[in-house]
A and B are shown apart, each in its own frame.
Chain A
Amino acid sequence: MKPLVLIVDDNADDRFLFREAITKSGFPAEVLFLHDGREARDYLAGEGSFTDRGKHRLPLLVITDVRMPRMTGIELLSWTRQHSELKRLPLILMSTSKVPADVNSAYAYHASSYVVKPTHFTGLIAFFKAVSAYWLEFGGAADASLT
């Protein structure tokens, strides 16, 4: 079974571009798009419409927008870090711009990284290739190989 990656973004245009870039990058994971931090929190908690863990398995990686209604990416990050099952879940924050205070908050809450969304489509494809190599090929293997 392919690993699952959650992508959380309230912007429909960005979700469309991510979907296209993921396809073009040959991203070797199943990708589920969610619309804001609250929906992602429900998914990760197995609440609301996501109670069936058989259907809604935990992801290997979460990539989330920072600025979203209802629950921001940093609030989602902070929430995951308070739950033993999720506190080591790799979580990448993506933003349209670099806000130094957000970058510092992100790493203070143990984000896996903070990325400014590439402005060009080719950059976005390159980003998903880089995520694939780092997290899916090398990083994702870590949990499975540990004894």
Chain B
Amino acid sequence: MQKRRLVLVVENDEADGLCIEQAFSRHSEAQCVRLRTAEDALSHLGIDAQPGSTAPRALPDLILLDLVLPGSSGTELLRRLRQNEMTKHIPVVALTSSRKTTDREAAYQWGVTSYLLKPARAVDLSRMIDAVVNYWSFCEIPESPAALTGPLRR
């Protein structure tokens, strides 16, 4: 792990959520904030009000998103993220047990960054989170439009 990352995890399943949180707790360089629904995520990011409203919180570097959620789906959340100026640049990794091609198609349509199938066994899910944290530690993260001030801002 080279860079400390703030990762927003949107996961409703308690067993999977606990497994993911435990996996993150082994990586002191990555901080995980877990929320359970798309609505909670929108509220947390401050984009549940009017389009274009500013996000008051520190934006995550990466979002891990289960596509099957109660209330609005993960795909609907992804659409909202991509349509908001403050969040459209954030890499979003779908982490889902859905094996439906329609879910994958919808996720790609709304600009999912990568699509990972959640393993059935907790031990494998835990290893997958290790792989996610480790891989993304090598990756640069796009800066939010608000961060692009000075000469880069036109």
* Residue A145, interface by CB 8 Å: yes
**Which residue from A108, A114, A134, A147 sits with its C-beta under 8 Å from B131?**
A134
How distant is the Cα of A135 from the Cα of B116 in the complex, in angstroms?
A: 9
Cβ–Cβ < 8 Å partners of B117 in chain A = 138, 141-142, 145-146
Within 8 A of A (CB), among B94-121: 99-101, 104, 108, 111, 113-117, 119
- Asked if A104 and B148 sit within 8 Å, CB to CB, the answer is yes
* Residue B140, interface by CB 8 Å: yes
Cβ–Cβ < 8 Å partners of A106 in chain B = 142
Within 8 A of B (CB), among A99-118: 100-101, 103-104, 106-108, 110, 112-116, 118
- Asked if A142 and B116 sit within 8 Å, CB to CB, the answer is yes
- Asked if B140 and A146 sit within 8 Å, CB to CB, the answer is no
Q: Is the interface of B mostly helix, strand, loop or mixed?
A: mixed
* Residue A90, interface by CB 8 Å: yes
How distant is the Cα of A75 from the Cα of B94 in the complex, in angstroms?
A: 26
- Asked if B91 and A134 sit within 8 Å, CB to CB, the answer is no
How distant is the Cα of A80 from the Cα of B132 in the complex, in angstroms?
A: 24
- Asked if B139 and A115 sit within 8 Å, CB to CB, the answer is yes
Q: Is the interface of A mostly helix, strand, loop or mixed?
A: helix
Range of interface residues on B (Cβ < 8 Å): 20 to 34
Range of interface residues on A (Cβ < 8 Å): 20 to 34
- Asked if A133 and B131 sit within 8 Å, CB to CB, the answer is yes
**Which residue from B99, B135, B140, B148 sits with its C-beta under 8 Å from A134?**
B135
Closest A residue to B130 by beta carbon equals A133
- Asked if B131 and A104 sit within 8 Å, CB to CB, the answer is no
- Asked if A110 and B143 sit within 8 Å, CB to CB, the answer is no
- Asked if B140 and A98 sit within 8 Å, CB to CB, the answer is yes
* B contact residues vs A (CB 8 Å cutoff): 89, 91, 99-101, 104, 108, 111, 113-117, 119, 127-128, 130-132, 134-143, 148, 152
Having A98-B140, A114-B142, one finds 20 other A-B pairs with CB under 8 Å, namely A90-B114, A100-B142, A101-B152, A103-B142, A103-B143, A108-B89, A110-B111, A113-B113, A113-B139, A118-B138, A127-B138, A130-B135, A133-B127, A133-B134, A133-B135, A134-B135, A138-B116, A139-B115, A142-B117, A147-B99
